[in-house]
Chain A
C-alpha cells in the first residue's frame, strides 16, 4: 500500500516561511504542522528546549495537543506509549541519563508496534557530570527495533521529523523512530529554516490510523499478552520484517517529500561530500560534518584526495549504500562520537557497524576507528587533518597499523 500523494505538482501559492530558529524549535514547528495529539515533557538538557518550544506553541494556541508534564522519563515514555495505543500521534524525547531512565518503556515500544517519535538530544551519560554531546544515549536502542536517524542542521531536523512520522505510522512499518540531534551543536544552534505551509504537510502526511490494532471498546483486543516461547520468536521476526520494509518506505517518503517540498532530494541514507575520486573517506554522523567538510576542503586544496560521508539513518542501517560509496576508497576512517568499551579492536559503535557492512565485499577498504569529540568536545580542523593523515598513510601502505585512535585527547 502506498500512502503517496497524487503526482500533481504542488501549487506555488503554498509558500514556505523562513524563520531563524534552533534545531529544537524547528522540530517543534514540525510537530505543529503534524497536528500532534499527545506530548509529554520532563526536563533534562539539552533536548528539553524542544518541550519549551512546544509549551509556547500550546500556550499560544498554535498547537492543539494534550501537553503533559510528567514526573520522570519512565512516566513520560509510558504515557505516550499508551496514548499511541489508542490512536494518538505522539511525541516524546530525552537526553543522556534521562533516556536511560526511560529505557524499560523505550525497549518495549517496538514490539507493541507503536509509531512513537522521540527526540534524543545527544548527551554524555554522566557520571562524571557532563552536558555535552555523545551518541551513546541514543545508540543504546540500536538493537531493539527503533528506527534511528541523525540530523545535521535545523532544516534537516524539521524535515526529518515529518518524514519520520510518515514512515513510522505507515501500517507496513508501525515502529518507533528516534531522531538523534547533537546536544548544543544542533539542539541550540539557530539557523534559517524554511517552515512549510500546513497545506503542503497535509498532502505529505496522512492521519495516523491504527486500524485493527487500535485499543477501543469497539475493537476489544488484548495487547501484549503472555506469549513466551510459543510465540515470541514469531513476533520478533515480524519486527525484523518491519525494519527490513522500512528501507523502501523511507525511500518512498523522501521521494514524495522532495516532490512536495522541493528539499531532501538526495540519497535518503547517506550524504556524500567530495567522494567521487577520493582515496580516503572520513565517515560520521551528526553535526561533525561541519568541521570535517571544512577540513576536507582544505586538504583538497593541498591536493589530497579526501572525501566525507555522513550517515543519516543508523537504523535501518543502509548496508547497500555504504558498500556502494565506500568500496571505491582505499581507506575509511569512521569518526565516532561514542565508545564501545571492549568491543572488537576497542573501536566504537559506528566503526564496528561499518566494518561489518563492508565485510562481504570482495575488495574492501581498510577501516580505522577514530573516537573523537566525546562529551561535546569540539572536533577541530587539526583533528580532521590528523585523522586524514593517518588514513592517507594507511591507503599508501595498505596496512592498518593501529585500528583505533582516540583523537584530541590529553595524555
Chain B
C-alpha cells in the first residue's frame, strides 16, 4: 500500500478569456422556456454564466427565482444538465457533484475529462441560509467547482423580502415604510466576496461581477472554472420587480451601481487583489457619481428623505475613503500596526 499525502486535483478545462464580443461563442446553454420578469438581470447572469462555461458543464441551482422561473416542467431552459438543490445547499451541491464525478473517474466508471461544476444561489440562499455550506465548500481544495451567488438584494421569489444583502432602508414586503417608522430595515449589506476571500486562504479565486459588463463577467466565470479548486463569484443583479423600476433600466442601473461606488468590481486571484473595470479608476481617485442618481431611480428608496440619502452617501464615502481596502474590507489599522508594517516594508525594500 502506497502512502499518499499529496492532494490529487483533477485538471480543469482551459477556458481562455473571450477576446472581444465577436469572439464569444454563438451557442446558448440557457435558452427559451423560462418565465423570469422582463428585464431580469439574474436571468442574464444565468445565460452569460452558461455561455461562458460551455457544454461540458453540470449546473446546480438552489431554490429562488432562478429555479422556480427557469425550470417549469417540460419547458426547462437548461441545455446542460441541471439539478435543483435546497435553498441553503449550493456549497454542498457543488462538493457532492464534484466528489461524485471525481471518484467515478478514478474508478473508471465514467470517462475521465474535466467537467465544469457550477452551483448557483441567490443572496438569500447564499449570504443568509447557505453561508456555512459555501464556506465549508471553499475549504475542500481537492474539488473543482464554482459557486456563483446572484444577488438581486432580496428574497425575490417569495415576494421580495429583505435579506442580509438588501441595502439599508429599502422598501421590501418585510420592511414597508410606515407612518411611525419610515425605515424598518437598518442593517448594512454584508460584503460576502471579501468575507469569503479573506476567510478561505486555499480558495484561489473570488470575484464580484456585474452583467452590465457582460464580457468581463463571462471572462471571470471562465477564470473561476479554469483556475482549479473551489471558487466563488458574487454578481449584483438589478431586479425590476424587487427594486421597483421600469425594466428598460436594468442595464443602466447595473452601471450606476458601479459608477456610484455602491458595487465595487474586484477579484482576488491566487491571493492578489485587483480592482477592474470602472472600479479600478474609482479606487485610483476618479470621482464617483452621487448615490442619489442610483437610489432615486428605484421605487424601493422612494420614501428616502434628504437625511436618508445623506446617510447612504456618507457610508459609501467612508467605504472608499476610510477603509484599509477601499470598497472591500472595513478595517483601519491601529497606529502601532501601521508603524510596524511601514518598518517591515522599508526593511524589505532595503534587502531587495
Are the chains A and B members of one assembly? yes
Q: Roughly how many angstroms separate A37 CA and B136 CA in the complex, as a whole number?
A: 20
Q: Which residue of A lies closest to B92 (CB)?
A: A78
**Known pairs A74-B133, A227-B73, A231-B73 / 8 extra A-B pairs, C-beta < 8 Å:** A38-B99, A65-B103, A79-B92, A82-B97, A88-B104, A222-B81, A222-B83, A225-B73
Any A CB within 8 A of the CB of B322:
no
Contact present for A82 and B85 (CB under 8 Å)? yes
Which residue among B57, B100, B102, B106 has the maximum number of chain A CB atoms within 10 Å of its CB? B100
Contact present for A215 and B81 (CB under 8 Å)? yes
Q: Which residue of B lies closest to A104 (CB)?
A: B86
Contact present for B109 and A84 (CB under 8 Å)? no
Any B CB within 8 A of the CB of A226:
yes
Measured between beta carbons, the chain B residues less than 8 angstroms from A81 are 96
Which residue among B76, B83, B84, B110 has the maximum number of chain A CB atoms within 10 Å of its CB? B83
Any B CB within 8 A of the CB of A363:
no
Any B CB within 8 A of the CB of A230:
yes
Contact present for A217 and B80 (CB under 8 Å)? yes
Any A CB within 8 A of the CB of B217:
no
Measured between beta carbons, the chain A residues less than 8 angstroms from B140 are 68
Query: Assuming the A-B contacts A78-B93, A105-B86, are A86 and B104 also in contact, with contact meaning beta carbons closer than 8 angstroms in the complex?
Result: yes
Measured between beta carbons, the chain B residues less than 8 angstroms from A78 are 85-86, 89, 92-93, 96, 133
Contact present for A226 and B96 (CB under 8 Å)? no
Contact present for B103 and A82 (CB under 8 Å)? no
Query: Assuming the A-B contacts A81-B96, A86-B101, are A226 and B72 also in contact, with contact meaning beta carbons closer than 8 angstroms in the complex?
Result: yes
Any B CB within 8 A of the CB of A87:
yes
Query: Assuming the A-B contacts A68-B95, A86-B58, are A105 and B89 also in contact, with contact meaning beta carbons closer than 8 angstroms in the complex?
Result: yes
Contact present for A74 and B106 (CB under 8 Å)? no
Query: Assuming the A-B contacts A82-B60, A85-B100, are A223 and B82 also in contact, with contact meaning beta carbons closer than 8 angstroms in the complex?
Result: yes
Any B CB within 8 A of the CB of A71:
yes
Contact present for A79 and B71 (CB under 8 Å)? no
Q: Roughly how many angstroms separate A207 CA and B104 CA in the complex, as a whole number?
A: 12
Contact present for B82 and A79 (CB under 8 Å)? no
Shortest beta-carbon contacts, A-B, top 10: A82-B96, A78-B92, A83-B100, A71-B136, A86-B100, A79-B96, A88-B100, A224-B84, A225-B71, A223-B83
Q: Which of A20-60 contact B (CB under 8 A)?
A: 35, 37-38, 60
Interface of A, secondary structure class, is: mixed
Query: Assuming the A-B contacts A86-B97, A207-B109, A220-B80, are A66 and B103 also in contact, with contact meaning beta carbons closer than 8 angstroms in the complex?
Result: yes
Q: List 14 A-B contacts (CB under 8 A).
A: A65-B103, A66-B102, A72-B132, A74-B92, A75-B89, A75-B92, A82-B93, A83-B99, A85-B100, A105-B89, A216-B81, A225-B73, A226-B67, A231-B73
Contact present for A37 and B96 (CB under 8 Å)? no
Measured between beta carbons, the chain A residues less than 8 angstroms from B71 are 222, 224-226
Any A CB within 8 A of the CB of B169:
no
A164–chain B nearest beta-carbon distance, Å: 20
Measured between beta carbons, the chain A residues less than 8 angstroms from B36 are none
Any B CB within 8 A of the CB of A219:
yes
B338–chain A nearest beta-carbon distance, Å: 36
A209–chain B nearest beta-carbon distance, Å: 9
Measured between beta carbons, the chain B residues less than 8 angstroms from A230 are 73
B162–chain A nearest beta-carbon distance, Å: 22
Q: Roughly how many angstroms separate A317 CA and B271 CA in the complex, as a whole number?
A: 56
Any A CB within 8 A of the CB of B198:
no
Any B CB within 8 A of the CB of A342:
no
Measured between beta carbons, the chain A residues less than 8 angstroms from B83 are 82, 85, 215, 222-224
Q: Roughly how many angstroms separate A74 CA and B92 CA in the complex, as a whole number?
A: 9
Contact present for B78 and A222 (CB under 8 Å)? yes
Q: Which residue of A lies closest to B86 (CB)?
A: A104
Q: Roughly how many angstroms separate A226 CA and B132 CA in the complex, as a whole number?
A: 26
Measured between beta carbons, the chain B residues less than 8 angstroms from A222 are 71, 76, 78, 81-83
Any B CB within 8 A of the CB of A400:
no
Q: Roughly how many angstroms separate A238 CA and B92 CA in the complex, as a whole number?
A: 27
Measured between beta carbons, the chain B residues less than 8 angstroms from A248 are none
Measured between beta carbons, the chain A residues less than 8 angstroms from B92 are 70, 74-75, 78-79, 82
